[in-house]
Structure 1
Amino acid sequence: MTVFTSAYFTMNEQEAIEYAKTRLDFFAPDAELECREIGDGNLNYVFKLIDHKNNKSLIIKQAGPVARISDEFKLSPDRNRIEFEILERQNKLAPGFVPKVYHYDPIMNCTAMEDLSDHMIMRTALMQHRKFPLFADHISTFLVNTLLLTSDVVMGHKEKKALVQKFTNPELCEISEDLVFTEPFYNCPRNEVFEGTRAYAEQEIWSDPKLQLETVKLKFEFMSNAQSLLHGDLHTGSIFIKEDSTKIIDPEFAFYGPAGYDIGNVLANLIFAYVNAKYTIADEDLRADQEAYLQNTIEDIVDLFKDKFMKAWDEKATEQTARYDGFKEYYLDTVLRDTAAVAGLELCRRIIGLASVKDVTSIEDPNSRAAAEKICLAAGKMFIMDRESFKTGADFAGALKSCEKRF
């Protein structure tokens, strides 16, 4: 029998079955378990266990000491503890929007959680050009509840500072600092650039000192602004979805940072879905319909977030000075400014940085892919450089449309 209580090791599928039987009180004694390792992300191992006899299933997520994407990234397995505790907290802040967690093991660095196999990964669903009319409402509620309610506006300041300390996440923050804020904005050897886009990147991104200045300002704000408890990697690959349900997963990058970081990541990844639809849907009417849905979703997320944020502030704010006239509006403007900036950073880094997205790389025609990437880079640069001017959903969607017309 394998020993799971003395030292960490990376499990295989059979060991995950044994772990579930001996360490988890989830499956019945007569369970007939099958296990598959289904992780397709950059960092972790994900085991799906199914009890065919009793029709129950479970996910075990294990964090290793290095990233799956590259051995260059040495990581503390403590990120698994952070993920477990964040999911517990988010379940209280935004009930129903994250998977249930059942068990955390600090020796094996793994978490047992709800199986969401009846949902789809949102990136995959959007690449199949599906629509989710409730998503904007769901994600805006999640964002308001997890961002505003973990800020100094609502929390006691000592309690909030204790959480800042608890969720300090230096290894994964360093990955973001490098891959999001630094490497995409110069000709870094680690960047992965499509040949049809390279000349544009060299001219418009790497050779623009004004853009580089703005990115370093944003990097230092990211490192020093402990505003809200972030998910930290909130893209469409971190969202499970079906028509009536949205579940946010993988918060292992969580830490205290600028609230706009999470919102901007969501918007940028909807733009990736938009260019995918533009260049992969052959039927003109179907293409226009999907583009309109995504554009409306971007607008709705921003506008619903603003409305819910203002209402939650009025209902939940505990800091006396947060009630001064005009401060609520000022604070929201700073969140929207950071939202635009991060949307821009994400658009650029996924196109010319190390970690690309399938929405774009799956576009088969090289000219179409280059055009899609240039739209993303142009919009990204606009969001970064003009970030103070984005106040409404229409502002974000309008910027995308204006960049689309250029290519």
Structure 2
Amino acid sequence: MIYLDTLTPLPIIEDYLRSKSWLLASERILSVEKPGEGNMNVVLRIKTDQRSFVLKQSRPYVQKYREIEAPLDRIEVEYRFYQSVRDRNPANPFPKIFGYEPNDFILLMEDLGQCEDMVSCYDTRTLSPGLQTQLLHTLNEIHLKTPPPDFLENMALRQLNHQHIFVLPFMEKNGFELDKVQPGLETLARPYKKDLALKKVVDSLGEKYLSKGNTLLHGDFYPGSWMFKEETVYIIDPEFSFLGFSEFDLGVMAAHLVMITMDTGYLEHVFYGYEGKADKKLTAQITGVEIMRRLIGLAQLPMCRSLDEKRLLLQNAKQLILS
């Protein structure tokens, strides 16, 4: 397996791409750069004298937290997802796939150009109604797709995600130093880690997450996976995809809109704006879990909220989980 990154000499990258017939005969690489801060994988923007594209490679660990092991085949899950959702509609909100090399766990895809992800919404505390509508429509379109019968279970990555969503944030001794995130956060989190009734419901939701469903999910439908350019939405990073229950994607989306706006009314907006079928209680419970794990778990967001605001979010999240 070859490892490619920004430190790899350009001739080596060029030779590799040419060996896969991914470069045109006369094409030359001009530069390689990181298009953004990836969490899970190595992501490179490769600029040639004729175009630019994105190369994505999985490693046996989480790129941002290298001490955490992660399955290499997550890149295959991403490839299979894109194959499942793409159609001939020119307005398709997913990047085009130019190549896939399973032996090196490399995916070559369209460079969406000067798109921005939506993490800035945590600072602006708003997301336009038009973008919200597009996101809900796209989510419904994903859930309507029929994946191939051999679509991967993605169980190893789901088990890792399960730990960070449903288990570790609710453990009293989990190694997370929350006061380094924000002084006072550990004290704020402690009652929820001791709440047995809360943890019992969260455990049952975690079991459902690990069970097999029949709906194609994105698996990580939050602002870091939402891109936009000129009020048009694009969706990336589906490596957490699996066949599950629609309420998981819906609840995650609702949770982030609630954290962006500090308004729990967005749960209603997401639920009733969704075109498919979903259970409201289950959606609300997933919303609550996602809010909690983003506030008191390892996967912190680039979001500035006061302790009082986080206290309110945690209180609301508990009510949603126990609803």
Task: Give TM-score, length-normalised by structure 2.
Answer: 0.88
| Alignment counterpart, residue 318 of structure 2, candidates 360, 381, 399 | 381
Whether the 8 Å CA contact 1:344–1:384 is kept in 2: the answer is yes
Q: Distance in 1 between matches of 2:88 and 2:144?
A: 10
Whether the 8 Å CA contact 1:100–1:113 is kept in 2: the answer is yes
Measure how far apart 1:218 and its partner are: 0.7
- Describe the shift of the 1:136–1:38 C-alpha distance in structure 2 as closer, same or farther (beyond 3 A): closer
Listed one character per residue, the Cα deviations across residues 69-98 of structure 1 (whole Å, up to 9, x for unaligned) are 333432221111110110121123986121
Measure how far apart 1:250 and its partner are: 0.5
Tell me the equivalent position of 2:154.
169
| Alignment counterpart, residue 265 of structure 1, candidates 242, 245, 252 | 252
Q: Distance in 1 between matches of 2:218 and 2:169?
A: 22
Whether the 8 Å CA contact 1:97–1:246 is kept in 2: the answer is yes
Whether the 8 Å CA contact 1:97–1:248 is kept in 2: the answer is yes
Q: Which amino acid aligns with 2:255?
A: A
Q: Distance in 1 between matches of 2:230 and 2:298?
A: 32
**SS of residue matched to 2:120:** helix
- Describe the shift of the 1:39–1:77 C-alpha distance in structure 2 as closer, same or farther (beyond 3 A): farther
Tell me the equivalent position of 2:131.
135
Gap regions ≥5 residues in structure 2: none
- Describe the shift of the 1:300–1:175 C-alpha distance in structure 2 as closer, same or farther (beyond 3 A): same
- Describe the shift of the 1:192–1:272 C-alpha distance in structure 2 as closer, same or farther (beyond 3 A): farther
Tell me the equivalent position of 2:80.
85
Q: Distance in 2 between matches of 1:10 and 1:143?
A: 33
Query: Does 2:188 match 1:200?
Result: yes
Measure how far apart 1:358 and its partner are: 0.4
Tell me the equivalent position of 1:114.
110
Measure how far apart 1:356 and its partner are: 0.3
| Alignment counterpart, residue 350 of structure 1, candidates 281, 294, 318 | 294
Q: Within 5 Å, which residues of 2 pair with 1:2-401?
A: 8-13=1-6, 14=10, 15-27=12-24, 29-51=26-48, 53-54=49-50, 56-92=51-87, 96-128=92-124, 131-150=127-146, 163=149, 165-193=150-178, 194-203=182-191, 205-275=192-262, 299-305=268-274, 308-309=275-276, 332-334=277-279, 336-359=280-303, 363=304, 369-386=306-323
Whether the 8 Å CA contact 1:238–1:249 is kept in 2: the answer is yes
**SS of residue matched to 1:47:** strand
Q: Distance in 1 between matches of 2:88 and 2:265?
A: 27
**SS of residue matched to 1:342:** helix
Tell me the equivalent position of 1:397.
none
Listed one character per residue, the Cα deviations across residues 76-135 of structure 1 (whole Å, up to 9, x for unaligned) are 211111101101211239861211111101121110111122210111355356643321
Which of the pair is proportionally richer in helix?
A: 1
| Alignment RMSD | 2.5
Gap regions ≥5 residues in structure 1: 1-7, 151-159, 276-290, 310-331, 387-407
Measure how far apart 1:337 and its partner are: 2.4
Task: Give TM-score, length-normalised by structure 1.
Answer: 0.71
Q: Distance in 1 between matches of 2:318 and 2:160?
A: 21
**SS of residue matched to 1:263:** helix
Q: Distance in 2 between matches of 1:135 and 1:24?
A: 37
Q: Distance in 2 between matches of 1:19 and 1:130?
A: 43
Q: Which amino acid aligns with 2:249?
A: D
Aligned residues: 315
Measure how far apart 1:299 and its partner are: 4.7
**SS of residue matched to 1:116:** coil
Whether the 8 Å CA contact 1:121–1:239 is kept in 2: the answer is yes
Q: Which amino acid aligns with 1:12?
A: D
What percentage of residue pairs aligned between the two structures are identical?
Answer: 24
Listed one character per residue, the Cα deviations across residues 248-281 of structure 1 (whole Å, up to 9, x for unaligned) are 1000011111211111111111222224xxxxxx
Whether the 8 Å CA contact 2:58–2:74 is kept in 1: the answer is yes
- Describe the shift of the 1:383–1:17 C-alpha distance in structure 2 as closer, same or farther (beyond 3 A): farther
- Describe the shift of the 1:262–1:191 C-alpha distance in structure 2 as closer, same or farther (beyond 3 A): same
After TM superposition, the structure 1 stretch with the greater mean CA deviation from structure 2, 102-111 or 31-40, is 31-40
Q: Distance in 2 between matches of 1:30 and 1:93?
A: 27
- Describe the shift of the 1:185–1:16 C-alpha distance in structure 2 as closer, same or farther (beyond 3 A): same
Measure how far apart 1:247 and its partner are: 0.8
Q: Which amino acid aligns with 1:67?
A: V
Q: Distance in 1 between matches of 2:52 and 2:126?
A: 26
Measure how far apart 1:338 and its partner are: 2.3
Whether the 8 Å CA contact 1:93–1:145 is kept in 2: the answer is no
